[in-house]
Each structure stands twice: as structure tokens, then as C-alpha cells.
Chain A
Amino acid sequence: MADAPTEKPLPEPDEASQPFWDSAERGEFMLMKCSDCGAFRLPSRQHCDRCLSTEYTWERASGRGTVRTFGIMHQRYHPGFVPDLPYNVTIVELDEGPRLPTNLVGVSNAAIRVGMPVVVDWERHSDVTLPKFRPV
């Protein structure tokens, strides 16, 4: 067994999600858009979750959305997050429809509200750029 990690766990791009991470580095929020029904989806899934079509295009999304819901984490799970406790875990609903787990930055825990409009605020790491969000 390896030692428990002390850094936050960063996603490792895989082949299917590579276009998302490449665009993120340029500050562009890319979604997959179904060519048949028009539904947007988060990368990377072969099939549209509305109609199961495999035809899609990459589209640049607005990077804007609202706080769907959030929690304030107090429990020590991963050592990499211990310095941040208590921190927010937030679900952002993008204006295009898809939702993603993220964290809000630039706002105190006490000021977070369901329905609050937010915009993407990219967090750059050496080989991956993460979509965090801040209040508009």
C-alpha cells in the first residue's frame, strides 16, 4: 500500500475527456452537444443521456450557471483537504443544463445561497485546469 496522499486528488485526463482539459487550459468551457436532440452533456460519454445518440459536436459553453445546492464539509476524509476545512462542496447547474460538482471561490461559506448566479473561475495546476466557480 502506498502512503495516504497529502495533495488534493487531481483528475488525470483520459483520451475521451482530453478535449475538455485542453480547452480548459485556454479558459474555454467545452460541452458535448447531441447532434440529434440538441441536449448538452458533460464530457465524456459516447451516448447522449437523453436520446442515446452517439453523434455530437463540441460546443463552447457560457461558463455561467447557478448554485443548485451545496454543503459545508467538516468531516476529515482526504488529507489534502484538511487545511480547507470547513469547505464548500457545490453543485453548479450550467445555463446549458448539465450540472457538475465543484467548489465556490471568492465567497464565505455563510454567504453561499441556493440559486446564486456564478461564473467559472479556472484553477490551474501543472497538467490539468479545474472548473471552480465564483459569484457573479
Chain B
Amino acid sequence: MGHRLRGAAAITGLGMTPMGRIYGKSATELAADAVRAAIADAGLKKSDIDGLLINPGITGMTGGGIGLNLQNYLGMDEMRLVNHMNAAGSTAAQMIQYATMAIDAGMATHVVCVFADNPLKEGGSSGAAYGGAARNPSRPKGMAGLTAAAGYFGANTPYALAARRHMALYGTTQDQLGTIAVGQRQWATMNPLAQMREQITLEDYHASRWIIEPLHLLDCCLVSNGAVAVIVSPPDRAASMAQPAVYIHGMGQGHPGDHNAAGSDWETETGGRLAAKTAFGMAGIGPEDIDVCELYDCYTYTVLVTLEDYGFCKKGEGGPFVEDGKLGPGGSLPTNTGGGELSGYYMWGMTPISEAIIQARGQAGERQVAKHDLVLTTGNGGSLSYHAALVLSPYPGRS
């Protein structure tokens, strides 16, 4: 017998707004657009929805992000399940996990999970959306002030520090990181939703400006305005709904949390290792069974270290593993097939999940991967601090 939660729910609806420099809508309005699209995609009525899980992006911290009042804006009453969740980039996968458990427990039927963000302001830079703390005029209090005093700013810094340590320990090269960026851009050229669709070369990668060494601009994700909503439903209903059902075969989480605790190897061993154990265990599979990977890719390095932690290769061998281009179109391990967060769109954990759904349904058009029986999707948040995973399949997980 398999795990009791294997196949306990299915994804039946996907709603996406246009993404990127999309102006003129609040995060709440973008969220409502995505929820409306997801309900229509699933062939449901608004009144069928009895669960709502809400995840704001960076605007949840900087102001204007979606909150619990999204329920009221959507005019959803008689709700059996509502929450506002935040474990950074791992939240999207977590929402689907909690929705699955609630459905299995009989606490809800159709749960909509929504992410929305609009950090880009007209005329403002992408960097300004995430570098806000550096402009704080007040003096930071106590020992926490050592971070700013060292000029340690932005989300880019911890990932550069992590990548540097991997390079020093294992000999990972800039070319290997660049190969990930080039492969994902190649996928993005085939994705009408992607923000960056001009093919790049390894030379373009090396020529792109340094953000913080060892990260070039082309190692870093985009910043996007937009929203994505996903509907999770019971498996028996999913089979006869409007879209091909995408069943949830595996779920896992792993959270190393704090960085500077003595003994932590957070830079090179992420929560993915623990999440993989739980998710693959539930699905009854191993990495060799995965056909398509949709991995959280805030940075090229995140992809490389995640592949190691899921056992696609040994620890430290991520560089040589990706070097032959196997993640790109035509490669043996199609990964981030919509361009990911580097070249597609940055909807935090919903970027890999949305593309995983599209691939599992077989609706990816020109970029569709022929064999898509098992799709791994991962979410990562903070500075490799929080991690969650789903294993998705077009086949029911229960017999």
C-alpha cells in the first residue's frame, strides 16, 4: 500500500494574469483576476470554492500586499478554510500541501491558493523593489546592525555567499552556473508568458554585469508584477472536471532556517534534502523516476544545489552534472521548462508550480516535454532557509 496522502488531491484549476511590468492594478485586484481565471479554468462557480489560502510576495512586507481581506474583496462567504500564509518562496507549495491535507480530512472541497505581488513601480528599477532596507535612514540597533555595517544588503548577498562556498569546496565554475542561465533562456524563447525571450549565449552571461561576485546579473531572477491562483480539489471530482487533472503524489518540506548558527552548512546543503526524503517517500519514487523538474530558481545556484539535494547527482557534483546542458531543451533532465524565475516570470513559489501544472497537463505547446508522468516542483525561500516540494502527475495516485 502506498502512502495515504499519495493522490489525496488534485490540481484542477490554474489562473495567471499577465506578468512583468504590469501596472494599474493593486495586488488585491491582480489576485482577484487570477482567482477568477482559475475558477473558469476549472469549470467551477465561485460558490463552489470553500477554501482560500493567501500568500503575498515582497509587498506583503513593503506594503500593499494581499492580506486576509482578499476574502472580502472576492465576496467569498461560507468559507470552510481561510488563511494567510508566509514561509517566503516555499509558501506556494505549502499552500497546496495544506489544501491537500484539508481536503483529505474532509474540511474543504475546492481550495483556491493564490499568490499576488506588484513591487514594480512605473519608472522604478527592479533593484529598488527589493533593496529597500539599504535606504533606511535610521541606525540599526544592536548586533543585528553588523549586517548593514558590513554593506551586506539585498537578497543577492546570501546567495552569492552560498554559491562562493560551493565553488570553493567543490570547484564549481562560473561556466557551470552560466549553463543553467543559458538553458533556461532557451526554454523561455518558447514560452509566450516569459518576460525574457531573446536567446543568450554563455558569452552574454559572462558579459552581464556583476551584482555581487560570483553572481552576474544573468544569475539573478526577474522581478514581476502579477498573480497566480491554483485550485485544489478531491481526486474523485478532479477526474471529471474541465481540465486534465494533475494529481499530487508527493509532498515534503525542509527548513534549515538560521544561517550563522555554529555547524550549519546552509550554503551547500538546503532543506531540499529533507523535503526530498518526505516527498519521494510519499510518492514511492526516487529521483531517477522524475521526468521534468520545475525548481525554484531565484538564482542559478539555487537550481544547482537543489539538484544535488534531491539526489539527481552527488553532493558537490552539481556543476559537472549541469555542464553538458542536460537541463535545457532536448536534454536528459528538462528543467525549468518555462524559463523559470530567471527568464520567465517571478511569482515566487508559483513560478515552478504553474509551469509544472502546464507540463503535467500536456499544454505547454512548443516546449512540451514528451514524457511528463512525474513532475518535481520545489519552492525555496529566505536565504535557502525554507523549502517545500510537490511531486505531480497526470495519473491518479490512488487505485
> Do A and B truly interact?
yes
For B127, the chain A residues whose CB sits under 8 A away are 75
13 interchain pairs, CB-CB under 8 A? A9-B140, A10-B149, A12-B139, A49-B258, A71-B213, A71-B215, A72-B210, A73-B151, A75-B131, A78-B151, A98-B262, A101-B260, A114-B165
| A99, chain B: closest CB distance, angstroms | 4
Docked-complex contact B262 and A101, CB < 8 angstroms = no
Docked-complex contact B146 and A130, CB < 8 angstroms = yes
Residue B156, interface by CB 8 Å:
yes
Residue A122, interface by CB 8 Å:
no
Residue B75, interface by CB 8 Å:
no
Q: How large is the interface on A (under 10, 10 to 19, 20 to 34, 35 or more residues)?
A: 35 or more
| A9, chain B: closest CB distance, angstroms | 4
Docked-complex contact B149 and A130, CB < 8 angstroms = yes
Q: How large is the interface on B (under 10, 10 to 19, 20 to 34, 35 or more residues)?
A: 35 or more
Residue B153, interface by CB 8 Å:
yes
For A78, the chain B residues whose CB sits under 8 A away are 134-135, 148, 151, 153
Docked-complex contact A73 and B260, CB < 8 angstroms = no
Q: Enumerate chain B interface residues (CB-CB to A < 8 A).
A: 127, 131, 134-137, 139-154, 156-157, 160-162, 164-165, 168-169, 209-215, 258-263, 267
For A98, the chain B residues whose CB sits under 8 A away are 260, 262
| A96, chain B: closest CB distance, angstroms | 8
| B319, chain A: closest CB distance, angstroms | 16
Per CB-CB distance, the 5 closest pairs between chain A and chain B, nearest first, are: A11-B145, A97-B262, A114-B168, A71-B160, A77-B134
Looking across the interface, which residue of chain A has its beta carbon closest to that of B166? A69
Docked-complex contact B261 and A49, CB < 8 angstroms = yes
Docked-complex contact A103 and B150, CB < 8 angstroms = yes
Residue A20, interface by CB 8 Å:
yes
For B141, the chain A residues whose CB sits under 8 A away are 11-12, 14
| A121, chain B: closest CB distance, angstroms | 13
**Bound-complex Cα distance A14 to B139 (A):** 11
**Bound-complex Cα distance A72 to B134 (A):** 17
Docked-complex contact B151 and A87, CB < 8 angstroms = yes
Among the listed B146, B160, B267, which residue makes an inter-chain contact with A100, where contact means beta carbons less than 8 Å apart? B146
Docked-complex contact A86 and B213, CB < 8 angstroms = yes
- Convert A95-135 into 0s and 1s, putting 1 for each residue whose CB lies closer than 8 angstroms to a CB of B: 00111111100000000011100000000000000110000
Among the listed A16, A68, A90, A130, which residue makes an inter-chain contact with B142, where contact means beta carbons less than 8 Å apart? A16
For A60, the chain B residues whose CB sits under 8 A away are none
Query: Given A9-B139, A14-B141, A114-B165, is A74 in contact with B157 using a C-beta cutoff of 8 Å?
Result: no
Query: Given A75-B211, A75-B212, is A103 in contact with B161 using a C-beta cutoff of 8 Å?
Result: no
| A91, chain B: closest CB distance, angstroms | 6
Residue A8, interface by CB 8 Å:
yes
Query: Given A49-B261, A71-B164, A77-B153, is A89 in contact with B212 using a C-beta cutoff of 8 Å?
Result: yes
| B304, chain A: closest CB distance, angstroms | 16
Looking across the interface, which residue of chain B has its beta carbon closest to that of A40? B262
